[in-house]
A and B are shown apart, each in its own frame.
Chain A
Amino acid sequence: MAALEIQNVRKTYGGKTEVLKGINISIEKGEFLILVGPSGCGKSTLMNSIAGLEEITDGAILIGGEDVSGRSPKDRDIAMVFQSYALYPSMNVRDNISFGLEMRKVPKDERTAEVERVAKMLQIEHLLDRKPSQLSGGQRQRVAMGRALARKPKIYLFDEPLSNLDAKLRVEMRTEIKKLHQNLGTTIVYVTHDQIEAMTLADRIAVMKDGIVQQFGTPQEIYDEPANIFVAGFMGSPAMNFIPVQIQNEGGGLVAKVTTRDGRTYSLPLGERGACLTNYVGKQVTLGLRPERVTQVNPHEVERADVMVLEAEIDMVEPTGPDTVMHIHLNGTEVSCRVAPDSAGKLGEKMNLMLDLSKAVFFDIESQARIG
């Protein structure tokens, strides 16, 4: 039985603006679902609908097999961590955590025990008597999570919980949330616009845009087999390269033609990845190639059938530390390459680069959907 099932959910404002256009998602107990997408894609609306803070226009939301679509938020057995933390300003940390228990008429001694347990787990025991205004951002974050954890609900909802923290703390809290999930085995729905958070935390990701789930799958599926150009471009940093190429049949195999800026044309051997392209021979498609597949020449890989070396002029160099990102031009589009810092060339130089097509994906130019 699914812990959370979203069936064909629609949400319209004032009968005109459709924010959610038929969402279908289902996750099992203990799974970590991430809703990711650019702002305005409907992910927060979907989360509020799960919480019951917004009514849905059509469809059904099932929690633990029960239809909760018509129920008020408090009767859905869920807890939520908000972006602004939404801690009650007039109450100290202890009361903040136990407020939900009090509202559910849990006896006082049980409440005290529960606050102790949660505080210990999140290491906020020393903060229990402070007011939210006396806490730092990271501490507030912990208290907000403590408040959600105290009730042991069926589902936890996290609405961009880390976006108010500074970069370092964000990474720390990310790890902590992941640990918490692993230790407690809770079912979590988590909204973010940060694709790294999505990749690192999720068991399943739903990539949303314009009120439609573009793709629903495991992080690796989404990274390796993106459903369309939007998903491919949204997940991964630096973003995937999209190169318009022509598919041709050369020497019994399919190749994609690319031309460098100085006019040299290369035929990229597509190997097995090209199997789905038989109907596209002689036509244009968009080749999707992640930056880490365009690297310095590694001698032990050059021999592979789906690897190709070409020489190109370097337009830009961005050192990031572990790798250096360089930009070159292929078929008139900018292509970013991820090169080991020691091998990186200088601006304006020409350099031999290795294109690994074993994970290449192809998109239809018209529909933008992945081919195959």
Chain B
Amino acid sequence: MVNQTAQSSMNWSRINRGLIYAVLLTAALFYLLPLVVMVLTSFKTMDDIRSGNLISWPTEFVFDAWSKAWSTACTGVRCEGVEGYFWNSVQIVVPAVLISTFLGALNGYVFTKWKFRGSELLFGLLLFGCFIPFQVVLLPMAQTLGLLGLANTTAGLVFVHIVYGMAFTTLFFRNFYINIPGELVKAAQLDGAGFFTIFWRILLPISGPIIVVTIIWQTTQIWNDFLFGVVYGSGDTQPITVALNNLVNTSTGVKEYNVHMAAAIIAGLPTLLVYVLAGKYFVRGLTAGSVKG
């Protein structure tokens, strides 16, 4: 009797497990399908696309679409592929991410360890930045960039992303540092360390997890940004997202789906790469501080 119950409960747990895997697999396939279609299409020839169906295997794998997307496809009047724009994006993302992360760390440090009269209010106001829709700041920002002489430049786009990203990065670092005991800072003060020495030598070395989180977040945000790129960048300084849009909308007769797909994958690759390389730190970092380490 007892054995039978154990047996049947084991059977049930197997069935349950099987069901769970089935559901998960279906969901994974469903979400992966667009990517599969994109990858397959990018390796097809135009004839293949016209004749076959959407998810059919390519009759032969060709890299023509990829090389065309990278170096000869037309984005608007110019036909130099997305290569230049890809590097534009890199030039925008790298400084913007590094600077906004650094400023966020510094802000978080001040808001938790060097509180001053009104610092909570200031932090609250800064948090508003997280909730302001992009569209609201378009005109005033355009004006500001004009005044600063940064209109239509890479530096201008970097500046916009730093300002906009700082609200988030500050929030991340502030919430991380609030869990670091204040006694650490007091001890360093007594040891004779000043404001920046404490930041560099004591706090930054233990900020690894939150730095990774912030960098992933900012890289994704800035790389994927379209609106700021299309408004404040022009011609040579436009990021890849804008180029991709132009490429798809430039019609010279035939819609080259394979080229579009290849370009889209190129545009998405860096953020994908960041997630693959640092994704586990992202999850770890988001939960860091919840348990005393």
User: Measuring CB to CB, which residues of chain A are less than 8 angstroms from any residue of chain B?
Assistant: 48, 51, 53, 72-74, 78-80, 82-84, 86, 88-91, 99-100, 103-104, 133, 147, 151
Contacts and interface: CB of A to CB of B under 8 A. Distances in A.
B59 interface: no
Contact of B186 (A72, A82, A90, A91): A82
B207 to A, nearest CB: 9
Contacts of B190: 51, 53, 73-74, 78-80, 100
B283 to A, nearest CB: 21
B193 interface: yes
Contact of B202 (A48, A72, A78, A88): A88
B278 interface: no
A82 B187 contact: yes
B140 interface: no
B205 interface: yes
Nearest to B197: A103
B188 interface: yes
B184 interface: yes
Give the 4 A-B residue pairs with the shortest CB-CB distance, closest first: A90-B205, A103-B192, A100-B191, A86-B183
Nearest to A53: B186
Nearest to A79: B190
Nearest to A51: B190
Contacts of B183: 82-84, 86
Given A53-B189, A74-B189, A100-B192, A86 B205 contact: no
A103 B201 CA distance: 11
B197 A86 contact: no
- Which of B181, B183, B197 is most buried by chain A, counting CB atoms within 10 A of its CB? B183
Contact of A88 (B186, B188, B189, B192): B188
A72 B190 CA distance: 9
B118 interface: no
Contacts of A73: 186, 189-190
Given A82-B186, A99-B191, A90 B197 contact: no
The binding surface of chain B is classed by DSSP as helix
A100 B191 CA distance: 4
A24 B206 CA distance: 41
Contacts of B191: 74, 99-100, 103, 147, 151
Interface in B73-89: none
B186 to A, nearest CB: 5
13 contacts: A51-B190, A73-B190, A74-B191, A86-B183, A88-B188, A88-B201, A89-B205, A90-B202, A99-B191, A100-B190, A100-B191, A147-B187, A147-B191
A84 B189 contact: no
Given A51-B190, A100-B191, A86 B181 contact: yes
- Which of B184, B192, B202 is most buried by chain A, counting CB atoms within 10 A of its CB? B192
B192 A104 contact: yes
- Which of A51, A83, A86 is most buried by chain B, counting CB atoms within 10 A of its CB? A86
A348 to B, nearest CB: 49
A8 B193 CA distance: 30
B197 to A, nearest CB: 7
A103 B184 CA distance: 15
B36 to A, nearest CB: 44
Contacts of A89: 184, 205-206, 293
A74 B187 CA distance: 10
B187 to A, nearest CB: 4
A164 B14 CA distance: 48
Contact of B293 (A48, A103, A133): A133
